[in-house]
Structure 1
Amino acid sequence: MFNMTRRMVLGSAAAAAAFGIAGRLEFAPAAHAETPVEPLVGFYKYKVGSLEVTAVYDGIWRKPHDPAFIKDVSVDDTKAALAKAGLTTDFMPIPLTVVVLQMNGRIIMMDAGSGVGQWQANATHLPANMKAAGIDYKAIDTIMISHFHPDHVWGLMEKGTNAPVFPNAELIVNATEYNWWTDPSRLAKLPEGRKPAGKRIAENFPKWKNWKPVEDGTEVAPGIRIMAAPGHTPGHSVYHVDAGSEQFLVSADTMYVPALLAPHPGWQGAYDQDGPMAIATRHKIIDQVIADNVRICGSHFPFPGTGSFVKDGNAYAFTPTQI
Structure 2
Amino acid sequence: MIDRRMFLGAGLAATGWLALGSAWSQQGTPPNLGAPALPAVGHRRHRLGEFELIALHDGALRRPLGEEFVRNVPLEQVKAMLASQGLPTDYVDIPFTAFLAVTPAGRFLFDAGFGDNGPPTTGRLREHLAAAGFKPEDIDHVVISHFHGDHINGVRLKDGALTFPRARIHVPAPEWAFWMDEARMQAAPQALQGAFQAVRRAFGGPVAERIVQFQPGAELAPGIRAEAAFGHTPGMCVFTLRSQGQGFIYVADTANIPALFVRNPEWSVMFDMDAELARQTRRRILEQAARERLLVGGYHFPFPALGTLEPMGTGWDWRPLAPVSG
Q: In which range does the TM-score fall when normalised by the shorter chain? A: 0.7 to 0.9
1:143-162 equivalences under 5 Å are 143-159=142-158, 161-162=159-160
1:208-227 equivalences under 5 Å are 208-227=208-227
Partner residue, 2:94? 94
User: What SS class does the counterpart of residue 40 from structure 2 fall into?
Assistant: coil
Instruction: Structure 2: state its 5+ residue gaps.
Output: 8-35
The question of whether the paired residues in 2 share the 8 Å contact of 1:232 and 1:253 is answered with yes
- Whether 1:126 aligns to 2:152 is no
Cα distance per residue 1:231-260 (max 9 Å; x no partner): 000110001111122011111001111111
Cα distance per residue 1:152-206 (max 9 Å; x no partner): 11001111x4343234311111100011111112222333333212113235525
The question of whether the paired residues in 2 share the 8 Å contact of 1:70 and 1:269 is answered with yes
Cα distance per residue 1:72-114 (max 9 Å; x no partner): 3333333332333343334211111111111115211010011
- Whether 1:176 aligns to 2:182 is no
1:189 to 165, 178, 187: 187
TM-score, normalising length from structure 1? 0.84
Q: What residue identity is the alignment partner of 1:61?
A: L
User: What SS class does the counterpart of residue 209 from structure 1 fall into?
Assistant: helix
The question of whether the paired residues in 1 share the 8 Å contact of 2:115 and 2:163 is answered with no
Distance 1:84 1:322, change over 3 A: farther
TM-score, normalising length from structure 2? 0.83
User: What SS class does the counterpart of residue 318 from structure 1 fall into?
Assistant: strand
Q: What residue identity is the alignment partner of 2:44?
A: Y
Distance 1:230 1:55, change over 3 A: same
The question of whether the paired residues in 2 share the 8 Å contact of 1:174 and 1:213 is answered with yes
Give the helix-richer structure, 1 or 2.
2
Distance 1:206 1:122, change over 3 A: closer
Q: What residue identity is the alignment partner of 1:131?
A: A
- 2: distance between equivalents of 1:59 and 1:18? 29
1:304-323 equivalences under 5 Å are 304-323=304-323
- 2: distance between equivalents of 1:294 and 1:204? 32
- 1: distance between equivalents of 2:310 and 2:4? 31
1:1-323 equivalences under 5 Å are 37-104=37-104, 106-116=106-116, 118-159=117-158, 161-203=159-201, 205-207=203-205, 208-323=208-323
Q: What residue identity is the alignment partner of 2:181?
A: D
Alpha-carbon offset, residue 146 of structure 1: 0.2
- 2: distance between equivalents of 1:149 and 1:204? 11
- 2: distance between equivalents of 1:320 and 1:275? 26
Alpha-carbon offset, residue 17 of structure 1: 10
The question of whether the paired residues in 1 share the 8 Å contact of 2:294 and 2:308 is answered with no
The question of whether the paired residues in 1 share the 8 Å contact of 2:140 and 2:166 is answered with yes
Identical aligned pairs, as a percentage?
33
Instruction: Structure 1: state its 5+ residue gaps.
Output: 1-14, 20-35
Alpha-carbon offset, residue 130 of structure 1: 1.2
Matched residue pairs, number?
A: 291
User: What SS class does the counterpart of residue 220 from structure 1 fall into?
Assistant: strand
